[in-house]
Amino acid sequence: MQELYEKLKKYSIEDSIKIEESDRQYKALKKMWDNLAEKDKYLWLILANSIICYQLSGKWEDYWEEFGAYFGPPPNPLLIKEGGLVEYITKSLWDFIKQSKNNKRFIDTKINRLEKLRPFLEEFVTKTEYYYNNMEELRDKLALTMKQKKDAKTVVFAIKMFSYGARNVFNKLIYFPENISIPIDSRLDNLFQKYKDTPPLTPPYKGGGQDQLIKKFYFDLSKKLNIPELHLDALVWVNYDELIN
């Protein structure tokens, strides 16, 4: 880990924020906010879309640009007026993913996930600013509602995208809490194998023991750099090619 720390220690949390705000996903949500006619539905759409953002058929950046373009410019496609606001949001997302170019896989499963999320959305729609100030609680509620672990990739990713949107809505930046984990993906697996202090393991990493080693590696690196894990994700993303070669 020390070698990876030495390569990243020149960066600050402010550097991470600059990288995040140059992210195509962040820019897509900013453009959506600027163009969205019904701004009161912005964060609800982002949160709900985040929990169906997996096993994509295109790049993540392309998908979020597609999402922002669909819901952003007028005339706004949110045409479903029957039922309450939660019905309004979930049915609009159903219509979106059914025609999406970048989210074609497991549509029925993803629609079921939206259904599972609905009870929490009833609460979320009245407490968006509260949850921006209490992102750990939002993570816990999402994990409980979706019956997933608190560090599940879709749960943590939902917090990240919610924060991106909340920066626009509330016009302020709140750092990610230190206790929200980085979403583990193949990049982080590869860096762990390269920089951990013992001989490399043969991927894929199976079993709770190895999973915990990877998570502890990034937890310790985050503490050493004094950069919360979700902000550390941006540094890894932009420097990955250099770090892995």
Query: Which residues are identified as catalytic?
Result: 153, 185
Give the count of beta carbons closer than 10 Å to the beta carbon of residue 65: 21
CB within 8 Å of 121: residues ≥ 6 apart: 44, 47, 48, 86, 89, 90
C-alpha pair distances (Å), 218 with each of 25, 33, 90, 150, 193: 23, 32, 35, 16, 12
Give the count of beta carbons closer than 10 Å to the beta carbon of residue 206: 9
Angle made by CA atoms 148, 161, 223, in degrees to the nearest 5: 75
